[in-house]
Structure 1
Amino acid sequence: MRILAAGGSAADAAVAATLACCVTESVVTGLGGGGFATYYDATTRSVHCLDFFCSVPGLDGDLPAGPMCPIEIDLGGLPMSYSIGGASVAVPGVPAGTAAVHTRWGRLPWDRVVEPAINLARCGVVLPAAQALTLMSVFPALVPGAGAEIYRPGGRLLAGGDLLYHPGLDRALAILAERGPDAFYTGTVAELTVDVVRAAGGCLGPEDLAGYRVLDLDVFRAPLSGYHVFARQDLNELISTIAALPHGLAALPRPDRARELAGALCEYGRPKIGDTTNVSAVDADGNACVITLSLGIGSGVWLPGLGLHLNSMLGEGELLAGPLVPGQRMSSMMCPLVVLDEDGDLVLAAGSAGASRIRTALVHTLINVLAEGASTGEAISRPRFHVIDDVAHVEAGYPEDEIDALAGAGYKINQFDDLDHFFGAVSAVGRAGAAGDPRRGGVGLLL
């Protein structure tokens, strides 16, 4: 909000908040991960997507020196298997990606945009109760190595209200502010990253980092209730899912709509749990920037003296859509989006955390806003259902007649006792207001 008040663009604000998230939401993301950005230019009424997700290492010809370490986490009562360790670390993209967004669409000086994150890292932040709940699920990936003293100091896992502090992370961010992203790909941080990953059994090398580039992506469109949703084509095929919904969706009785939505969700998608965060920003000129980024589950490999946790993307089996080719960009379910009206004006900018539930959370939110006219806050807070194979996982408070319709369509019902962080975390801003997801302590603010 201070960045916007100082005259910053939506891109400045989104990048500043994204880097702040690398400090305050390290349970789910960090500088050592990767992500995507979607930008709406109000002057040209054009939409752009940037890919700064992680790439497969190995351009130096090295092979992993050691095996990955298998772990299991539980989220929403569903046990999920992962692999961590040095061999799970892919080439990170967040430093390059945030800088690219700022270079393309920012207004304020780069160091001014990074400054809020540096200040937060120097002091530490209070861990929200919602993130403490997530920490309880994913801590097996966070407490190996340096993470033990950060997330489980004195042998006790951090709880809501405790101080989350990463010694050295302010130095990493200061390097980013002063030297730009090059230090992370060809400079001192790059050299340290290679040494640490290889010592942990990984194969990431100097050529992998030096060859990393942010990519421009094709933008796809799908109609929904008289509006147009724009985004990249993600691994979970959000745009295809929306396109598969009936054109008269808003006119259908809600139980029928639930069956149609469940069918579209079943047709596409992959069941996976991961750590993600999202920032959506709109400036006074109507420009919008949505950034979604992820650390995977976290590798347990940290850069000493810099408080920086590296990603575990190579250990996330559902992201490995084919052979691992060194230098190739990995797949992801992240899908920051914008919604435009028939005149090309912005209606909504939104994104979500939650791996395979990103698509579910966003589609529910879009239907609530576009088809039902709900405010952004109400749309995000309403109970959702998520389909995996023949099981519909349903949050507490979801309408009984719609649950009956799902059961009548052959889905087994797994009823949750409350709104749950399993169901993703949408943040959005648009004509209907600004809101973050209460499931993970999200907020929405208007200036």
Structure 2
Amino acid sequence: MTARNTPHDGAETARRLPASGAPRWRRTLLALVIGSFGVLAQAQDTAATKTAAIASANALATEAGFEVLSRGGNAVDAAIAVGTALSVVQPEGSGMGGGFLAVIHDAATGKNTFIDAREMAPQAVSEKDYLKADGTPNRDTSLNGPLAAGIPGMPAGLAYMAGKYGKLPLAESLRPAIRLAEQGFRPSGALLRSIEHKADVLRRYPASAAKFFPGGKAPQAGDLFRDPDQARTLKALAEKGADGFYKGAVAKELVKSVRAAGGTWTLADLAAYRAKERQPIVLDYAGYKVITAPPPSSGGVAVAEMLNILAPLDLKSMDEAHRIHYLVEAMRRAFRDHNEYLGDPDFVKMPLDMLLSPYYADGLRQSILPDQATKSAWLPSVQAKAPGMHTTHYSVIDKDGNMVSMTATVNTTLGSSFVAGRTGILLNNEMDDFALVSGQPNAFGLIGGSANAPVGGKRMLSSMTPSFVIGKDRLAVIGSPGGSTIITQVFGAILAFIDGKDAGQITAQKRIHHQFLPDRVDIEKGSDIPADVLAKLKAMGYEINDRESWGNMNVVVWDKVTNVKTAASDPRNPDGLGKVEAMH
């Protein structure tokens, strides 16, 4: 992966399977990736064959990524195309009014880096805006409308990635999304259900109602859904880069609409936003290198802590009940530290050396009783002393081995439900990810203290955990949405990959979750965990809760021995698509 030096000429490279008789190709086809999206085909790799793989939550977005690859783009350009397409076709999960975290691998240099495009609080943020008259949390202002929205990071992050790590101009990577917004698309069932679910809130705001109820009516299956306002904003970004969003006409319209509806954004808030490049967390586990997200993600620290706790244990030799027992106790301890210590690294001094140390993990492991659940109340307080579920993920590997693991979000379904005037941009409700009221849970039940308290210019803590797992013979690009369950989903996926499971098996496996509080084990409803195992867990003292709502994992796996890439989208999501194609 090399940085762009000159504009690409736009010549399109055909994407096709090898033609009969082509001298540099084998003609054998392998069936790959059987899931809810059907059967895909890929060329059997030879030394001359190169393939790219993309898995995302929507087939139109996956195709947008391949379109940009066919124009000479790399994995970063493809990720930009996927992300902006999702802003159009999957606004319930992410968009230009939200933010993202991404891990990037440069195949040419071996460098791994992390892009922080997390949203940040406006300078005028005030706890009183999120309290009722009686001093209790006001869930409406923290989740709905402009007070719920942090300053978006996605446009700045995409422009930064394109300029430093892409091969194509940003405008080239935005073309598929602009076309989808202008020409229209058939809305997915998930989008239609989200609009119905949030209808009352959407109708509060004129621009939201105009966007999601064209002609005054909710869109139906098979309708053509257009988004011309967002298309114009994307064109401004394509023409002027980040300044096309954070300055000028778009910025003025964003601020005007937010303030008219009771928000506090200023032009200075927008102009001050910068995407940041940080060092990812890197650790070794069972002969594999795990590369994951640092703060303001809490996920990478928590995953590293869990893996360090488990490192000396022989999980394969345990019966299923005891394996789950140790997984849950590792989760419990990691989430306790998540709540206590983590926040924006530019504002909070965190004891990361301690949290990531195997010696610290040794002590935590010693506190696990071999046959009894630890009650969360037995562990030290989750409150830092005071001085005081909706996201998306996409995984990309290009033909040269460059990789992007990228998780983007607007927080809960359709974010704040507030569309900012004529920009067409649906704003996030990420302010709820701050500890707006210390000691009170957010929408995902997570509790925080002063480390994650809101301050102007500060980035709220995130559960997003985009990750790579790299071994001698195999590697994986992993991530998922799912609120606080993102962390445990990625943790489970890493263990499954190391156990030898393929992309389809990783995305389909049943999931378990514990987040310290509430003190219970969430197990995916319909799980194949035997009744006698559940009985043993209950006898150990665990409260078991059936959970229906999980994430939407997208995974790409590369087997370097066979030189075969597989891509899989979560079978729980009928709109997703994992796809592998031969590229010239």
TM-score band, normalised by shorter chain = 0.7 to 0.9
- DSSP-derived class of the 1:367 partner: helix
1:48-63 → structure 2 map (5 Å cutoff): 48-58=113-123, 62=124
> Cα 1:107–1:291, aligned 2, differ >3 Å: closer, same or farther?
same
The CA deviation string for residues 140-197 of structure 1, in whole angstroms up to 9 with x for no partner, is 5545323334445577655655544334111111111122111211221111111111
Confirm or deny that 1:263 pairs with 2:329: yes
8 Å contact from structure 2 (residues 162, 169) kept in 1: no
Confirm or deny that 1:253 pairs with 2:313: no
> Cα 1:231–1:27, aligned 2, differ >3 Å: closer, same or farther?
same
Q: Distance in 1 between matches of 2:571 and 2:217?
A: 25
Residue 350 of structure 2 aligns with which residue? none
1:296 CA displacement = 2.0
1:444 CA displacement = 0.6
Q: Distance in 2 between matches of 1:402 and 1:12?
A: 46
Residue of 548, 553, 570 corresponding to 1:437: 570
1:218 CA displacement = 2.5
> What's the TM-score once normalised by structure 1's chain length?
0.87
Residue 200 of structure 1 aligns with which residue? 261
- DSSP-derived class of the 2:256 partner: helix
> Cα 1:223–1:194, aligned 2, differ >3 Å: closer, same or farther?
same
8 Å contact from structure 1 (residues 129, 161) kept in 2: no
1:349 CA displacement = 1.0
- DSSP-derived class of the 2:161 partner: helix
Which region of structure 1 is more displaced relative to structure 2, 31-40 or 149-158?
Answer: 149-158
Residue of 231, 235, 238 corresponding to 2:298: 235
- DSSP-derived class of the 2:79 partner: helix
Which region of structure 1 is more displaced relative to structure 2, 223-232 or 126-135?
Answer: 126-135
Look up the equivalent residue of 1:428 and give its one-letter code.
V
1:137-176 → structure 2 map (5 Å cutoff): 137=197, 142-145=202-205, 146-152=207-213, 158=219, 161-176=222-237
Q: Distance in 2 between matches of 1:64 and 1:325?
A: 8
> What's the TM-score once normalised by structure 2's chain length?
0.67
8 Å contact from structure 2 (residues 254, 420) kept in 1: yes
Q: Distance in 2 between matches of 1:143 and 1:222?
A: 47
> Cα 1:254–1:25, aligned 2, differ >3 Å: closer, same or farther?
same
Confirm or deny that 1:17 pairs with 2:82: yes
Confirm or deny that 1:303 pairs with 2:303: no
8 Å contact from structure 1 (residues 228, 339) kept in 2: yes
Residue 76 of structure 1 aligns with which residue? none
Confirm or deny that 1:115 pairs with 2:175: yes
Q: Distance in 1 between matches of 2:241 and 2:556?
A: 29
Confirm or deny that 1:370 pairs with 2:498: yes
> Cα 1:194–1:134, aligned 2, differ >3 Å: closer, same or farther?
closer
Confirm or deny that 1:361 pairs with 2:478: no
Q: Distance in 2 between matches of 1:195 and 1:133?
A: 30
State how many pairs are aligned.
Answer: 426
Confirm or deny that 1:390 pairs with 2:522: no
Q: Distance in 2 between matches of 1:139 and 1:445?
A: 34
> Cα 1:136–1:374, aligned 2, differ >3 Å: closer, same or farther?
farther
Q: Distance in 1 between matches of 2:476 and 2:534?
A: 28
The CA deviation string for residues 76-113 of structure 1, in whole angstroms up to 9 with x for no partner, is xxxx9753222222111110001111112111222110
The CA deviation string for residues 347-382 of structure 1, in whole angstroms up to 9 with x for no partner, is 0111111110101211222222212x1110111112
8 Å contact from structure 1 (residues 301, 309) kept in 2: yes
Q: Distance in 2 between matches of 1:405 and 1:65?
A: 45
8 Å contact from structure 1 (residues 34, 92) kept in 2: yes
The CA deviation string for residues 321-347 of structure 1, in whole angstroms up to 9 with x for no partner, is 4332211222211111111125xx870
1:429 CA displacement = 0.8
Q: Distance in 2 between matches of 1:162 and 1:261?
A: 45
Residue of 550, 554, 576 corresponding to 1:427: 554
- Between structure 1 and structure 2, the one with the greater Rg is 2
> Cα 1:337–1:27, aligned 2, differ >3 Å: closer, same or farther?
same
1:204 CA displacement = 1.3
Residue 476 of structure 2 aligns with which residue? 348
Residue of 522, 528, 542 corresponding to 1:411: 542
Look up the equivalent residue of 1:434 and give its one-letter code.
A
1:276 CA displacement = 0.7
Q: Distance in 2 between matches of 1:133 and 1:398?
A: 28
> Cα 1:350–1:136, aligned 2, differ >3 Å: closer, same or farther?
farther
8 Å contact from structure 1 (residues 65, 203) kept in 2: no
Residue 74 of structure 1 aligns with which residue? none
8 Å contact from structure 1 (residues 277, 353) kept in 2: yes
Q: Distance in 2 between matches of 1:225 and 1:439?
A: 29
> Cα 1:136–1:352, aligned 2, differ >3 Å: closer, same or farther?
farther
- DSSP-derived class of the 1:221 partner: strand
1:120-131 → structure 2 map (5 Å cutoff): 120-131=180-191
Q: Distance in 1 between matches of 2:217 and 2:284?
A: 49
Determine which structure has the larger strand proportion and give its number: 1
Q: Distance in 2 between matches of 1:65 and 1:32?
A: 22
Look up the equivalent residue of 2:432 and give its one-letter code.
G
Residue 280 of structure 1 aligns with which residue? 395
Q: Distance in 1 between matches of 2:101 and 2:505?
A: 26
Q: Distance in 2 between matches of 1:178 and 1:322?
A: 36
Q: Distance in 1 between matches of 2:533 and 2:223?
A: 40
- DSSP-derived class of the 2:83 partner: helix
The CA deviation string for residues 368-419 of structure 1, in whole angstroms up to 9 with x for no partner, is 2212x11101111122122253322222133215434432332222235xxx
In structure 2, the gaps of 5 or more residues are 1-65, 133-138, 340-388, 436-441, 560-565
Residue 210 of structure 1 aligns with which residue? 271
8 Å contact from structure 2 (residues 502, 557) kept in 1: no
Q: Distance in 2 between matches of 1:83 and 1:188?
A: 27
**Identical columns (%):** 31
Q: Distance in 2 between matches of 1:134 and 1:423?
A: 16
Residue 313 of structure 1 aligns with which residue? 430
Look up the equivalent residue of 2:512 and give its one-letter code.
F
- DSSP-derived class of the 1:431 partner: strand
Cα RMSD for the two superposed structures:
2.7
1:65 CA displacement = 12
